[in-house]
């Protein structure tokens, strides 16, 4: 599928489907939509009136057949919602709906207006980037295990999507936006493939091999793979405690991106990488295990980020860390009541083997700080409490640094990957105080500030470096279809947020 910009009026481009927009309450189209309406002798205006189209919600739309001999065969008029609520994510959503409707209509060529660049008052490059992301993300399918007929039915027949832009001054910006949108979407789709792969075929070694392949394809990316023996020598006993119950060997993965010029900043991104989480001896109920191949979504986001860094070429030194293992029950598994010593010397009492992610992250964060970065960011499907607090579409943010908090929130607003800050409440440190060790791995009191307790636990393993923890338990996996550019399954959440954050450092 080709995505291009063309300095030709909308009404003159031959296409199977033409996509134009309107805002809620607009009864008379203007701008590009108005030009098309005029060409169609007021057909759009008449349709809006005849069906009483209000367009209150972004994504509401109607179709209109073009009975003229020239121009597009069909027109899709889609609402951008209320002007006051318009955002870049609205562009992603309406772009996604446009592509999905084009597929329904068996369209081969779609022409679209650049949503938001006119009456929306947005930057043309950002609009083009968001539109590209919406198209490419909604075109994603994980069909590796489908039969051939189902694969054929999913084949995209759309050959070309044309963005019509009369203002030639915007062409360069739009092309750059398409390029960035393609990079961002490719990184996210890469992560989605990893998360959607079953635990049987996505084990720690596969994550290590994926990191090796990324490094092999990119000259400015290198990788170190630490085996179980290496991990033991590093003193990562909390990580090894989680891996102890599995027949699969653990791997600690360290990716490094070095820019061609002297870097302005140095950051470390850590991703929780439990390739399957049974809960260990604190075994999860069967229903709670159905999505646990997703427990490496943080690591997948890190790999998705590194898969496209060489295309983005940020002037930032970036390290990616994955402590990859399974959490399984067996005779060798860690027990409730056991005490382990982490890499930084702290002792941890294990009161629940299903609170395993924070154990692997404890050692990974200790290692991260030894790299002496400016910032550390971790992403982890860490607590069900985060879903209770914020639902399935918003990640929890905990940080001890206001600059980092503000930049991550801004990146979330730009990418539509929403985050919400929770406090690292010092009074809750008592929740993780142990009677037999320095700390315990779960908070006191079932369901009481579980997400914050987990954040406070992780904070014990970062001494001085500005650090942010993103609990992505909710948005890492998509069950509903409220976001049209995401299909059911792994979302690849966090890749675009990280890319946006890094791009704007």
Q: Are 45 and 28 in contact (CB under 8 A)?
A: yes
CA gap 329, 280 in Å, rounded: 4
Residue 98 forms part of a structural domain: yes
Same domain, 167 and 210: no
Residue 14 forms part of a structural domain: yes
Same domain, 368 and 495: yes
- Using CA of residue 100, residue 103, residue 104, residue 109, what is the dihedral sign? positive
pLDDT at 31: 87
CATH value at residue 129: 3.40.220.10
CA gap 67, 386 in Å, rounded: 53
Given pLDDT bands bounded at 50, 70 and 90, which one contains residue 117? Answer: confident
Q: Which of 284, 311, 346, 444 is catalytic?
A: 284
CA gap 327, 482 in Å, rounded: 31
Residue 8 forms part of a structural domain: yes
Note the pLDDT tens digit of each residue in 449-463. Answer: 999 999 999 999 999
Partners of residue 341 on adjacent β-strands: 347
Number of domains in the chain: 2
pLDDT at 446: 65
Cα–Cα distances in angstroms (integers) from residue 345 to residues 237, 359, 361, 498, in the given order: 10, 13, 14, 31
Q: Which of 92, 103, 293, 358 is catalytic?
A: 358
Residue 472 forms part of a structural domain: yes
Note the pLDDT tens digit of each residue in 395-429. Answer: 999 999 999 999 999 999 999 999 999 999 999 99
Q: Is the pLDDT of residue 448 over 70?
A: yes
Measure the CA angle with vertex 412, ends 185 and 391; round to 5°: 100
CA gap 225, 223 in Å, rounded: 7
Same domain, 299 and 447: yes
**Widest CA span of the chain, in angstroms?**
82
Structure tokens at 97: 């709906």
Q: Are 464 and 381 in contact (CB under 8 A)?
A: no
Q: Which residue has the tokens 């203002």?
A: 167
Same domain, 232 and 178: no
Note the pLDDT tens digit of each residue in 136-165. Answer: 999 999 999 988 887 777 777 899 999 999
Of 139, 154, 185, which residue constitutes the final position of a domain?
185
Same domain, 320 and 462: yes
Q: What percent of the chain has pLDDT over 90?
A: 88
pLDDT at 14: 87
CA gap 173, 127 in Å, rounded: 10
Same domain, 181 and 215: no
Given pLDDT bands bounded at 50, 70 and 90, which one contains residue 364? Answer: very high
Same domain, 160 and 243: no
Same domain, 273 and 251: yes
pTM: 0.97
Residue 284: active-site member: yes
Return the percent helix, strand and coil in the chain, to nearest 5.
40, 20, 40
Q: Is the pLDDT of residue 13 over 80?
A: yes
Same domain, 291 and 205: yes
Residue 453 forms part of a structural domain: yes
Note the pLDDT tens digit of each residue in 165-214. Answer: 988 889 999 999 999 999 999 999 999 999 999 999 999 999 999 999 99
Residue 192 forms part of a structural domain: no
Which of 206, 204, 196 is CA-nearest to residue 325? 204
pLDDT at 363: 99
Same domain, 228 and 334: yes
Cα–Cα distances in angstroms (integers) from residue 503 to residues 199, 344, 408, in the given order: 33, 32, 12
Neighbours of 247 (CB within 10 A): 9
Residue 341 forms part of a structural domain: yes
Can you tell me the mean pLDDT for 54-77?
89
Same domain, 235 and 305: yes
Given pLDDT bands bounded at 50, 70 and 90, which one contains residue 384? Answer: very high
CATH value at residue 303: 3.40.630.10
Q: Are 119 and 25 in contact (CB under 8 A)?
A: no
Which of 476, 240, 470 is CA-nearest to residue 376? 470
Domain range spanning residue 300? 197-503
Cα–Cα distances in angstroms (integers) from residue 354 to residues 6, 138, 326, in the given order: 54, 34, 11
Residue 191 forms part of a structural domain: no
Q: Which residue has the tokens 């003229």?
A: 68
Residue 358: active-site member: yes
Of 185, 211, 226, which residue constitutes the final position of a domain?
185
Of 153, 185, 217, which residue constitutes the final position of a domain?
185
Same domain, 298 and 434: yes
């Amino acid at each position: 599928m080709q995505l291009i910009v063309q300095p030709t009026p909308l009404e003159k481009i031959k296409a199977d489907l033409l996509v134009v927009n309107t805002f809620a309450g607009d009864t008379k189209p203007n701008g590009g939509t108005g030009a098309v309406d005029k060409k169609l002798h007021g057909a759009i205006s008449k349709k809006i009136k005849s069906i009483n189209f209000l367009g209150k919600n972004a994504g509401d739309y109607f179709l209109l057949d073009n009975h003229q001999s020239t121009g597009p065969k069909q027109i899709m008029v889609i609402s951008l919602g209320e002007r006051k609520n318009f955002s870049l994510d609205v562009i992603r959503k309406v772009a996604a709906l446009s592509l999905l409707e084009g597929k329904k209509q068996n369209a081969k060529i779609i022409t679209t207006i650049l949503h938001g660049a006119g009456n929306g008052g947005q930057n043309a490059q950002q609009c083009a980037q968001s539109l590209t992301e919406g198209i490419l993300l909604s075109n994603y399918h994980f069909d590796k295990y489908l039969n051939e007929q189902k694969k054929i039915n999913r084949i995209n027949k759309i050959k070309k999507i044309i963005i019509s832009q009369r203002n030639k001054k915007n062409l360069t910006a739009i092309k750059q936006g398409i390029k960035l949108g393609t990079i961002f979407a490719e990184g996210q789709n890469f992560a989605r493939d990893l998360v959607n792969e079953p635990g049987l075929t996505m084990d720690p070694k596969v994550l290590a091999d994926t990191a090796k392949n990324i490094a092999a394809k990119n000259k400015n990316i290198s990788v170190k793979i630490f085996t179980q023996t290496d991990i033991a020598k590093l003193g990562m006993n909390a990580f090894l405690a989680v891996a102890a119950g599995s027949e699969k060997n653990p791997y600690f993965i360290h990716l490094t991106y070095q820019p061609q010029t002297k870097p302005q900043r140095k950051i470390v991104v850590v991703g929780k990488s439990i390739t399957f989480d049974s809960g260990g001896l604190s075994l999860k109920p069967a229903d709670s295990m159905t999505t646990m191949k997703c427990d490496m979504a943080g690591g997948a986001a890190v790999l998705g980020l590194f898969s496209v860094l060489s295309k983005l070429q940020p002037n930032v030194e970036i390290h990616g860390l994955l402590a990859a293992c399974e959490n399984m029950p067996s005779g060798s598994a860690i027990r409730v009541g056991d005490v382990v010593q982490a890499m930084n010397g702290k002792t941890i009492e294990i009161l629940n083997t299903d609170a395993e992610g924070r154990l692997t992250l404890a050692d990974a964060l200790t290692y991260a700080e030894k790299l002496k970065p400016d910032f550390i960011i971790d992403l982890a499907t860490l607590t069900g409490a985060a879903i209770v607090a914020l639902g399935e579409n918003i990640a929890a943010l905990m940080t001890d640094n206001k600059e980092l908090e503000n930049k991550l929130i801004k990146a979330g607003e730009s990418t539509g990957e929403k985050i919400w800050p929770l406090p690292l409440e010092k009074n809750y440190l008592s929740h993780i105080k142990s009677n037999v060790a320095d700390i315990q791995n779960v908070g006191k009191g079932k369901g009481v500030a579980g997400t914050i307790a987990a954040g406070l636990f992780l904070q014990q393993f970062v001494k001085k470096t500005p650090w942010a923890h993103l609990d992505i338990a909710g948005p890492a996996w998509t069950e509903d279809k409220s976001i049209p550019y995401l299909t059911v399954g792994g979302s690849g959440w966090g890749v675009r947020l990280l890319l946006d954050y890094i791009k704007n450092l």
